[in-house]
Amino acid sequence: MSERDDILQAVYQVILERKNASADSSYTASLFQKGIDKILKKLGEEATELVIAGKGGSREEIVYETADLFFHALVLLGYYDITPDQIYGELKRRFGTSGIAEKASRTVS
């Protein structure tokens, strides 16, 4: 496992630990307590902030907002007990496949 994998996994573990903590002492716990709509709202806000940073072109802001987006994406994964390894597995499955071909291979629900 690389250092990159380790930090995402470490942050995810802390998120899981805070899932049932007091909302008074943990921002993450407060997100879980407020429910999925709040988690999704924060994820959307962070995605929008990253888009704005990308448009602005400041590398520092892009890095900062990407970290926020990754964190809130991990909170969403934690809400549904989806591990980062499951995401890595999906990325590995897609690796080396044309994006057009991968999208065409998906079944329509």
Domain annotation covers residue 69: yes
Domain annotation covers residue 60: yes
The tally of domains found in the chain comes to: 1
Mean pLDDT by 10 residues, the chain (109 residues): 74 95 94 97 98 97 98 98 94 82 66
The enclosing domain of 19 has a CATH number of 1.10.287.1080
Domain annotation covers residue 108: no
Domain annotation covers residue 93: no
* Enclosing domain of residue 25: 3-83
Domain annotation covers residue 91: no
Predicted TM-score (pTM) of the model is: 0.84
Residues 52, 62: Cα–Cα separation, whole Å: 9
